[in-house]
Amino acid sequence: MIRTLNDYWEKQGALLLYPYDMEKGAGTFNPHTFLRSLDRKPWKAAYVEPCRRPKDGRYGENPYRGQHYFQYQVVMKPVPENIQELYIESLACLGLVPEEHDIRFVMDDWESPTVGAWGLGWEVWVDGMEVTQYTYFQQVGGLEVDPVTVELTYGLERLAMYIQDVGSMFDLKWNDETTYGDIYHRNEVENSFYNLQEADTALLWNTFEANEKECLRLVREELVRPAYDYVIKNSHLFNLLEARGAISVSERTNFIGRIRRLARACAKAYRDSENGGEKDA
């Protein structure tokens, strides 16, 4: 499936890239998307991204939900005029042709307050099942983006379950002998215990504080990429703390604000350097 998508998007001119080597909640955090969407240069890329959402841990008992899963991410800038057709064709390559499947674009405006980003778009349904998040970015890191980047995020487990016609992601066949569950089930169980019960909140909290300082220091040193790594780290720490129930409702807003501040600082520093010091309007 990944190979099919890779072949297809490579033909559309996308660079085939690799995941970023850090824990993150979505492929959007990968600098290939986050930072690249901020400059003016054309950019087309496709990559698989393993993601972690600590709160979604279900000890491997829920057939559809896990704290670790894979996304297939496509970003394009500027947006090709026929992007919707391109996307539908990619589904057809996976066997989901519009003549046999009800493919629908259902409004779903995307927003990530933690990184000060939002965009408009849809969740794409195939026969009632959500398989892709499709977004035209409008702001990233609190900055207007120009040109606009389009982001297509395929939920690989969902799609595979549909194509292989199985009821649980753990029953997906990785190949003829090995299932997804053989590889990842134990990981789900252990990490669910860690995320929801065992994570040392004091340690996470201290790390969060230290990371924040380091991030701001690096921005001052104009080392945008290392600084941005700390944004990713803190976003994940926040997700862990939240999964542990260590953040109250009122603290939550404050926490999100702190991460957003870092994301904005990085976005601004990146844009200043990439656009030759050109200031955002």
Partner 1 sequence: MRDFLLEIGVEELPADYIPGALASLEAGFRALFDESRISVESSDAFATPRRLTLCCRGVAEKEDDRDEKITGPPKTICFKEGKATKAFEKFLEKNGLTEEDIFWEETEKGPYLAARRFVPGRPAREIIREQWPRILAAVEFPKKMRWDESGLLFARPVRWLLAFWGDEVLPLKAGVVEAGRETRLLRNSPVKRILIHNLSSYLEEMEKGGVILSRDHRRTMILAGLQKIAEENLASSFYSEALVEEVMDLVEFPLVLTGGFEEKYLILPPEVISAAMSQHQRYFSFYKERQILPVFAFVANGTFTNTGKVVRGNERVLRARLDDAMFYWKEDISKGPERLYELLGTVTWMEGLGSLGEKAARLGHLSGLLCPEDKTAREGARLAKIDLVSEMIKDGKEFTRLQGTIAKHYLQEDGRQEEMASIAEEHYWPRVWGDPLPRPRAAAVGLADRADNIVGAFIKGFIPTGTKDPYALRRQANSMSAILLGYEEGVVSVEKGFGLESIQGLFQAAARLYPREALPQEKEPELLRQVNAFFEDRFRAQLRSLDIPYDIVDAVCDTPEKNLKVKYQKALAFKALSGREEFRDVAATFRRVSNIVKKAREELHREEFGSPRPELFVEKETRAMNGEWTKVKEEIRRAGEDYSRIFDEILRFKAFVDPFFDTVLVMDKNEALRNNRLALLQDISDQFGEIVNFDHIVVT
Provide, rounded to whole angstroms, the least separation between the CB of residue 267 and partner 1.
18
Nearer to partner 1, 123 or 212 (CB): 123
Please give the residues from 90 up to 119 whose contact with partner 1 meets the rule CB under 8 A: 98-107, 109, 119
Question: Alpha-carbon Rg of the chain, whole angstroms?
Answer: 19
Amino acid found at 250: S
Question: Should residue 40 be labelled a site residue for partner 1 when binding is judged by CB under 8 A?
Answer: no
Sign of CA dihedral 42, 142, 232, 186: negative
Task: Specify the DSSP class assigned to residue 194.
Answer: I
Nearer to partner 1, 133 or 211 (CB): 133
Q: Measured between alpha carbons, how far is 101 from 220 in angstroms, rounded to an integer?
A: 52
Question: Should residue 189 be labelled a site residue for partner 1 when binding is judged by CB under 8 A?
Answer: no
Question: Should residue 31 be labelled a site residue for partner 1 when binding is judged by CB under 8 A?
Answer: no
Question: Should residue 138 be labelled a site residue for partner 1 when binding is judged by CB under 8 A?
Answer: yes
CA dist 46 → 27, 130, 236 (Å): 10, 20, 23
Sign of CA dihedral 96, 176, 53, 114: negative
Q: Measured between alpha carbons, how far is 55 from 239 in angstroms, rounded to an integer?
A: 7
Nearer to partner 1, 2 or 163 (CB): 163
Query: Applying CB under 8 A, what is the total number of residues that bind partner 1?
Result: 37
- Residues that bind partner 1 in the complex, under the rule CB under 8 A: 62-64, 78-79, 81, 84, 88, 98-107, 109, 119-120, 122, 126-129, 136, 138, 146-148, 150, 162, 167, 248-250
